[in-house]
């Protein structure tokens, strides 16, 4: 299974657990609300960002598809995993974490041509490479996802993090969902190393414009946003929440963006 905090981002406190003892140890170390899910073993992981405008026939579109390439090393029959990781920039950044969390893996010597998967969680901060999959956006993919997305009441902009058996299965709408992110879900294809900074900023700008148009459409439909005061309180409380765990403090912390009131003294 996989345990992830109810509130988090970029792999924060996510842990793959193989048994009840590992799960209890992780929850005891970080006493906050967790979601525990099936760990999906389907071979292809992707992110897909969609939008739809209000109304039964509001315009629908898919604006980003990202395919994830998990961090792995390929053996030469001589070098250990530590040496192989140090030879690649992306995995070299993860060495300190592996020394702390999985030192037993680093001493292994994979056989010539053997591939060892180092990170099963498809997160950029954990060494996963994000690849631009926007070439997959076509009428077939839109037709597969539009009925699904229109049935998610109240969500006009979202990003599925999902797994599927193949890209062909994705086109048919055959997949399992790990997460559905809201407006903070970025168009993850921009992190493709070959994409370039200016193209990334261009695509971010296009998505911000889209969010602004959706906001205006919601206003016309009578949906009001939270106040600036409440929004700032959510942001401030969230960073306090993350800082406490990063500093290793053992605390009891609950954070619910949907239910707390900005005047609540507990915050």
Q: pLDDT truncated to tens, each residue of the chain (267 aa)?
A: 988 887 777 777 888 888 899 889 888 888 888 889 998 889 999 999 999 999 877 899 999 999 999 888 899 998 998 999 899 888 888 888 888 888 888 888 989 988 988 877 777 777 889 999 999 999 999 999 999 999 998 899 999 999 999 999 999 889 999 889 888 888 999 999 998 899 999 999 999 999 999 999 999 989 988 899 998 998 888 888 777 776 544 444 444 444 333 333 333
Are the C-beta atoms of residues 6 and 33 closer than 8 Å to each other?
A: yes
Are the C-beta atoms of residues 136 and 65 closer than 8 Å to each other?
A: yes
3-class secondary structure, 228:
helix
DSSP readout, 79-111? S-HHHHHHTSHHHHTTHHHHHHH-HHHHT--PP
Supply angle C-alpha 72, 77, 83, rounded to 5: 55
Supply angle C-alpha 59, 65, 71, rounded to 5: 160
User: CA-CA distance, 70 to 82, in Å (whole number)?
Assistant: 17
Question: Of 128, 122, 134, 129, which Cα lies nearest the Cα of 207?
Answer: 134
Positive or negative: CA dihedral 151, 57, 219, 209: positive
Domains of the chain: 41-70+119-225 (3.30.470), 72-118 (no CATH)
Q: Which residues pair with 37 in a beta bridge?
A: 2
The Cα-based distances of 45 to 119, 166, 267 in angstroms read: 13, 9, 37
């Amino acid at each position: 299974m996989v345990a992830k905090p109810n509130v988090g981002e970029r792999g924060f406190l996510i842990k793959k657990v193989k048994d009840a003892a590992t799960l209890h140890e992780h929850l005891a170390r970080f006493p906050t609300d967790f979601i525990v899910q099936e760990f999906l073993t389907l071979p292809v992981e992707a992110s897909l960002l969609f939008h739809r405008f209000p109304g039964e026939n509001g315009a629908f579109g898919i604006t980003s598809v990202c395919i994830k390439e998990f961090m792995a090393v390929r053996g030469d029959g001589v070098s250990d995993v530590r040496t192989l990781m140090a030879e690649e920039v992306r995995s070299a950044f993860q060495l300190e974490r592996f020394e702390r969390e999985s030192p037993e893996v680093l001493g292994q010597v994979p056989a010539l041509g053997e591939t060892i998967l180092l990170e099963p969680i498809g997160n950029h901060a954990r060494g996963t490479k994000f690849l631009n999959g926007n070439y997959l956006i076509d009428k077939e993919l839109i037709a597969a996802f539009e009925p699904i997305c229109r049935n998610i009441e109240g969500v006009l902009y979202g990003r599925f993090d999902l797994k599927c058996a193949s890209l062909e299965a994705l086109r048919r709408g055959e997949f399992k969902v790990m997460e559905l992110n809201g407006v903070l879900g970025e168009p993850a294809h921009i992190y493709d190393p070959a994409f370039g900074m200016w193209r990334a900023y261009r695509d971010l700008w296009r998505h911000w414009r889209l969010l602004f148009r959706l906001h205006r459409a919601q206003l016309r439909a009578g949906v009001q946003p939270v106040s600036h005061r409440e929004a700032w309180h959510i942001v401030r409380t969230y960073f306090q929440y993350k800082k406490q765990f990063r500093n290793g403090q053992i605390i009891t912390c609950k954070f619910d963006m949907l239910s707390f009131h900005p005047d609540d003294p507990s915050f």
